[in-house]
Chain A
């Protein structure tokens, strides 16, 4: 951008008074001469604002030249949309503090450390980074931390204070179509959560190829993104997610999640967005 700024400097104020455009882009100088708008005010404006920007840019340039800034982080840690005590008594503040503040933060920090050491993976969005580092089943070391960072972001968004109850609108219809009824789905989801061995996640996914909803489980850090399905909800079945509140009572944790924590609004939004990628059926075109 610096060359256009210096061009602007060189260009005389006459042209500025004609041109409303602050940066002197050459191709448009001709155009500007054709403008016959009252230029006094606009000249004032266009004279003022760019010079302000120029000063700033110049200052920034000096700053950059003198003290090179280091990039401090590639990916950031986003807090949940609710306060830490908003999910009480179903998920305690202490759990959120530790789960988000130590586990999730640790993943993000380690991811940034990996990238700071060797930023060949720089430039991907987090979704892309997960797919790239999964490496078709041979995960690179960055996979675990990247996927867990994404998974936890997704998990916080999948919950809300005052959650639970029933899904609404299209999501409810789709669940009833694919599982028979909501209670069937709920039962299957909880049973899947309880029969998961070890650490992992339980997902409600929209399967791209089969164009239906399904319940999926993954171990450790894996996410349905790697096999290109679209996740709508997740439940963290790593022990750290429930141990402080429920000790080893996973059944109660899974039930409480379904009854009081899950955010169907978010799932509905995700499904609506997923429908731009997956055609879930014929649209209901009203017959005239």
Chain B
């Protein structure tokens, strides 16, 4: 707000405010430039993490009695988020290491890994 009134003492603080705004703006701008398919994957990751947090909150409220159920629920969310991030890494065109990998193969690997993960989850759910 006031660039003049604080005087000589707190020269840095208003600069930090403006800096933070500038930071967030540039982050938004750079992120908006990413392709749509990557944004969809990011949305999926975000959804999985929120679900995991909801489960942790629920556990905090009712206690962790069937601990295996809690563990399998939370780890399935985190697990599928991690796998989605791996898929994003492999599909991202800016990534030079994976330019020979066809995106269909990356997706097939993603599905396979998720299958194994959820098989284990169903077994462990109890």
Report if A and B associate in a common complex.
no
